[in-house]
């Protein structure tokens, strides 16, 4: 528990996490607000539609999590960390936990914020949470923010260098799994098996919408299995990064 | 007590530390001396479990650093004063370190006070001068009130005031009965600070001895005598089987030098017994730097004019040459 305190002190004693949190909320809720305002009047808004811009904030929180590790390498404080906790894994795990929890909180606030904004801005929006699928869409954002931050921490720990790690963290979901889908055959595979595409299906899939909210289909995995698949990626990468960090010279 | 046995660290084909064995005795300041690139920092990092030795072993009171439960209470280290997040305050930096080893919060203010940083504790560490960063680093090392302290080149780049402060601080730590292991590439600095010396060059142990011994052995000494009865004194000393030479020294005229194992006391007594008047009787030491260079000369890794390599041909010229062929 004291190591969680350590990482909490570290995170909140610099300003960048605060800026990242604000930016994540502004981006995630800002874009959907544009939708609320400018979409045609007959647009149907459901909870999954309101949270559909979650990826904008997710990118920012992943960058924050990445920086939480790479700045330690950049400024050498990782060595002080390892001198304080020479077994290394407990302190890195605490860092992952703190960053991921913060990310999840931001995700949760962003999701409920989007619902609130929608209710205020669109008079006939049906944003009440009634079905399990609707609850999944909203609470799922927090879960995905949590797991994505773990992935970011793992990548930061493996690459140790801010520019490189952030490039991977941004290119993977947006370019490889996003634009990569336009490549024939490979694109289909990425849509089906890309972890971030599965995460997206977990949040947005099977909501009964007909306007193609998600590009991965239920044929591969149900939303629940999609979450498990995404979590397996996150935990797998985290375990690899911890083992590597323990063995490598700091 | 720090004990290294057969400590070796290889990076690819480069051997940074080569079969190094030494011990740092408790309750003393031990200097870790060697030219730049000799492997001092690498050795310190291996002591502290940051780097894993390729082979060999180093233990602190019989334990590996990685197995220490609350390491900051056992070993305090300052390897690099710049290892601080520039946007974090000194107090926050020490606060997380204290929390990591379950040290009471009050310790942070105590060590800030001990190094004289209380007034600037809330300021971002990035704005600190090197001297202040160094003090913060020492505060961090002292946080757990450890019995063993490691400092890597603590006076590097400091102004004279900072150097004196660090020197005094280290003596104080040793007076408190702590074990201090401090590296430097300056023998003159070590001669003032350290009681014991571990000297390395190119990753190998050159000597482990007391500073006094090292200095005496390393720098040849001679005794300088001025006297109006030089010739008489010389013949008396030569009868006692002493190596003497008379030289003409500028501004001083003829001067007698006595080399070898002899004390000024003995020469003074001999002269008095013969009723010889002495104008000057001084023990002269070779410079410590010269002695150090002599000891480690073969083991400096990067000589200024080491090899007679041909200068590399600039790439542009190669391209031009290739084009001319076509």
pLDDT of residue B238: 86
The answer to whether the Cβ–Cβ distance between B50 and A250 falls below 8 Å is: yes
Residues in B closer than 8 angstroms to A86, CB to CB, are: 48-49, 65-68, 71
- Chain A nearest C-alpha distance from B38 (Å): 19
pLDDT of residue B257: 86
The answer to whether the Cβ–Cβ distance between B83 and A75 falls below 8 Å is: yes
Q: How confident is the model at residue B250 (pLDDT cuts 50, 70, 90)?
A: confident
CB atoms within 10 A of CB B80: 17
- Chain A nearest C-alpha distance from B9 (Å): 11
Q: Which of A20-34, B39-53, B297-311 has the lowest mean pLDDT?
A: B297-311
Nearest by CB: B82 against A72, A76, A83: A76
Q: Which of A95-109, A209-223, B117-131, B135-149 has the lowest mean pLDDT?
A: A209-223
pLDDT of residue B288: 64
- Chain A nearest C-alpha distance from B307 (Å): 32
Rounded CA separation B282/B271 (Å)? 14
Q: How confident is the model at residue B249 (pLDDT cuts 50, 70, 90)?
A: confident
Best of B50, B94, B99 to substitute, by most chain A Cβ atoms within 10 angstroms, is B99
pLDDT of residue B314: 40
Best of B79, B100, B140, B143 to substitute, by most chain A Cβ atoms within 10 angstroms, is B100
**Tokens standing for residue A189:** 């595979």
Residue B225 forms beta bridges with which residues? B256, B281
Residue B217 has pLDDT above 80, yes or no: no
pLDDT of residue A43: 87
pLDDT of residue B214: 81
Q: Which 66-85 residues of chain B touch chain A by CB within 8 A?
A: 66-68, 71-72, 77, 79-80, 82-85
Q: How confident is the model at residue A123 (pLDDT cuts 50, 70, 90)?
A: confident
Which residue of chain A has the CA closest to B49?
A86
How many CB pairs below 8 Å do chains A and B form together? 85
- Please say whether the beta carbons of B233 and B275 come within 8 A: no
The answer to whether the Cβ–Cβ distance between B77 and A83 falls below 8 Å is: yes
pLDDT of residue B245: 83
CATH fold for the domain made of B221-285: Alpha-Beta Plaits (3.30.70)
pLDDT in tens, B59-89: 999 999 999 999 999 999 999 999 999 999 9
Q: Which of A174-188, B8-22, B37-51, B215-229 has the lowest mean pLDDT?
A: B215-229
Residue A200 has pLDDT above 60, yes or no: yes
Which residues of A fall below an 8 Å CB-CB distance to B? 2-3, 5-7, 9-10, 13-16, 71-72, 75-77, 79-87, 91, 247, 249-250
Question: Where do the CATH 3.40.50.300 domains begin and end in chain B?
Answer: 2-217
B20-57 as b/e: b if 16+ CB within 10 A: bebebeeebbbbbbbbebbbbbbbbbbbbbbbebeebe
pLDDT of residue B305: 52
As to burial, measured by CB atoms within 10 angstroms (0-12 exposed, 13-18 middle, 19+ buried), residue B261 is exposed
Q: How confident is the model at residue B219 (pLDDT cuts 50, 70, 90)?
A: low
CB atoms within 10 A of CB A207: 20
The answer to whether the Cβ–Cβ distance between A75 and B84 falls below 8 Å is: yes
- Chain A nearest C-alpha distance from B89 (Å): 8
Rounded CA separation B183/B185 (Å)? 7
Residue B304 has pLDDT above 60, yes or no: no
Question: Where do the CATH 3.30.70.250 domains begin and end in chain B?
Answer: 221-285
Give me the percent of chain B exceeding a pLDDT of 70.
Answer: 87
- Chain A nearest C-alpha distance from B253 (Å): 60
Q: State mean pLDDT over A84-106.
A: 97
Q: How confident is the model at residue A194 (pLDDT cuts 50, 70, 90)?
A: very high
Rounded CA separation B189/B240 (Å)? 38
Query: Does B97 touch chain A if contact means CB atoms closer than 8 Å?
Result: yes
Query: Of B150, B190, B193, which Cα lies nearest the Cα of B295?
Result: B190
How would you write chain B as a 3-class SS string? CEEEEEEEEEECCEEEEEEEEEEECCCCEEEEECCCCCCHHHHHHHHCCCCCCCEEEEEECCECHHHCCCHHHCEEEECCCCCCCCCCEHHHHHHHHHHHCCCCCHHHHHHHHHCCCHHHCCCEHHHCCHHHHHHHHHHHHHCCCCCEEEEECCCCCCCHHHHHHHHHHHHHHHHCCCEEEEEECCHHHHHHHCCEEEEEECCEEEEEEEHHHHHHHHCCEEEEEECCCHHHHHHHHHHCCCEEEEEEECCCEEEEEEECCCCHHHHHHHHHHCCCCCCEEEEEECCHHHHHHHHHHHHCCCCCCCCCCCCCCCHHHHHHHHHHHC
Residues in A closer than 8 angstroms to B87, CB to CB, are: 14-16
Rounded CA separation B24/B147 (Å)? 13
Best of B64, B70, B85, B91 to substitute, by most chain A Cβ atoms within 10 angstroms, is B85
pLDDT of residue B299: 57
**Tokens standing for residue B311:** 């200068």
B60 compared with B238, residue with greater pLDDT: B60
Q: Which 136-155 residues of chain B touch chain A by CB within 8 A?
A: 140
The ipTM value here is 0.90
Nearest by CB: B99 against A6, A72, A247: A6
With left for phi above 0 and alpha for psi between -120 and 50, is residue A86 left, alpha or beta? alpha
Pick the CATH number of B2-217 from 3.90.79.10, 3.40.50.2000, 3.40.50.300, 3.90.280.10: 3.40.50.300
pLDDT of residue B52: 96
Residue B243 has pLDDT above 90, yes or no: no
Nearest by CB: A80 against B51, B102, B140: B140
Q: State mean pLDDT over A2-14.
A: 95
The answer to whether the Cβ–Cβ distance between B101 and A81 falls below 8 Å is: no
CB atoms within 10 A of CB B228: 12
pLDDT of residue B318: 39
Provide the edge-to-edge strand list for the sheet that holds B280-285: B243-249, B253-259, B221-226, B280-285
Rounded CA separation A156/A166 (Å)? 8
Residue A231 has pLDDT above 60, yes or no: yes
Residue A82 has pLDDT above 90, yes or no: yes
Q: Which of A223-237, B35-49, B257-271, B295-309 has the lowest mean pLDDT?
A: B295-309
Q: State mean pLDDT over B147-152.
A: 95
Q: Which of A165-169, A212-216, A231-235, B175-179 has the lowest mean pLDDT?
A: A212-216
Residues in A closer than 8 angstroms to B72, CB to CB, are: 83-84
Q: State mean pLDDT over A6-28.
A: 95
Selection from A78-82, A180-184, B219-223, B233-237 with the highest mean pLDDT: A78-82
Residue B321 has pLDDT above 50, yes or no: no
The answer to whether the Cβ–Cβ distance between A5 and B99 falls below 8 Å is: yes
pLDDT in tens, B262-292: 788 888 998 999 899 999 998 877 666 666 7
The answer to whether the Cβ–Cβ distance between A13 and B96 falls below 8 Å is: yes
CB atoms within 10 A of CB B284: 11
Q: State mean pLDDT over B129-142.
A: 94
Give me the percent of chain B exceeding a pLDDT of 90.
Answer: 51
Query: Does B95 touch chain A if contact means CB atoms closer than 8 Å?
Result: yes
pLDDT of residue A6: 97
The answer to whether the Cβ–Cβ distance between A5 and B50 falls below 8 Å is: no
pLDDT of residue B212: 83
Q: How confident is the model at residue B307 (pLDDT cuts 50, 70, 90)?
A: very low
**Tokens standing for residue B273:** 């017994």
pLDDT of residue B287: 64
pLDDT of residue B311: 43
The answer to whether the Cβ–Cβ distance between B99 and A247 falls below 8 Å is: no
């Amino acid at each position: 528990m004291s190591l969680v305190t350590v990482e909490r002190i570290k995170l909140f004693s610099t300003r960048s996490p605060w800026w990242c949190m604000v930016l994540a909320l502004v981006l995630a809720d800002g874009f959907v607000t544009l939708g609320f305002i400018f979409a045609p009047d007959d647009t149907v808004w459901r909870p999954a539609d309101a949270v559909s811009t979650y990826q904008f904030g997710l990118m920012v929180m992943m960058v924050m999590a990445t920086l939480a590790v790479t700045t330690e390498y950049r400024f050498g404080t990782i060595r002080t960390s390892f001198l304080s906790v020479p077994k290394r894994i407990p302190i890195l795990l605490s860092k992952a936990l703190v960053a991921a929890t913060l990310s999840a909180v931001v995700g949760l606030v962003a999701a409920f914020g989007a619902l609130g904004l929608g209710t205020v801005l669109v008079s006939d929006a049906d944003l009440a949470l009634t079905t399990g699928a609707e609850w999944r869409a909203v609470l799922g954002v927090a879960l995905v923010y949590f797991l994505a931050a773990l992935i970011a921490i793992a990548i930061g720990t493996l690459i140790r260098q801010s520019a490189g790690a952030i490039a991977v963290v941004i290119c993977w979901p947006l370019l490889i799994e996003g634009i990569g889908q336009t490549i024939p055959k490979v694109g289909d595979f990425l849509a089906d098996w890309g972890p971030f595409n599965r995460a997206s299906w977990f949040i947005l899939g099977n909501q009964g919408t007909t306007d193609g909210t998600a590009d991965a289909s239920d044929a591969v995995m149900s939303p629940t299995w999609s979450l498990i698949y995404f979590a397996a990626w996150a935990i797998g990468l985290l375990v690899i990064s911890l083992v590597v960090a323990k063995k490598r010279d700091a | 007590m720090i004990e290294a046995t057969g400590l070796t660290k290889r990076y690819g084909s480069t051997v940074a530390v080569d079969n190094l064995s030494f011990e740092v005795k408790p309750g003393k300041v031990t200097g870790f001396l060697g030219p730049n690139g000799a492997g001092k920092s690498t050795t310190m990092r291996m002591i502290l479990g940051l780097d894993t030795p390729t082979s060999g072993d180093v233990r602190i009171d019989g334990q590996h650093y990685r197995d220490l439960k609350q390491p900051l209470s056992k070993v305090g280290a300052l390897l690099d004063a710049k290892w601080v997040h520039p946007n974090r305050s000194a107090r926050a930096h020490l606060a997380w370190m204290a929390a990591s080893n379950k040290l009471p919060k009050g310790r942070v203010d105590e060590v800030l006070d001990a190094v004289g940083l209380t007034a600037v504790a809330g300021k971002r560490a990035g704005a600190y001068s090197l001297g202040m960063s160094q003090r913060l680093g020492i505060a961090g090392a002292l946080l757990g009130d450890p019995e063993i302290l490691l400092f890597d080149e603590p006076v590097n780049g400091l102004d004279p005031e900072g150097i004196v402060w660090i020197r005094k601080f280290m003596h104080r730590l040793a007076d408190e009965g702590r074990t201090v292991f401090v590296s430097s590439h300056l023998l003159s600095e070590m001669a003032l600070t350290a009681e014991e010396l571990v000297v390395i060059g190119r990753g190998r142990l050159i000597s482990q001895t007391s500073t006094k011994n090292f200095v005496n052995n390393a720098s040849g000494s001679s005794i300088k005598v001025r006297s109006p009865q030089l010739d008489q004194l010389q013949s008396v000393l030569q009868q006692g089987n002493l190596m003497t030479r008379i030289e003409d020294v500028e501004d001083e005229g003829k001067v007698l030098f006595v080399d070898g194992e002899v004390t000024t006391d003995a020469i003074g007594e001999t002269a008095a017994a013969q009723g010889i008047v002495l104008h000057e009787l001084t023990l002269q030491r070779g410079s410590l730097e010269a002695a150090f260079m002599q000891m480690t000369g073969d083991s400096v890794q990067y000589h200024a004019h080491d090899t007679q390599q041909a200068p590399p041909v600039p790439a542009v010229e190669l391209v031009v040459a290739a084009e001319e062929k076509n």
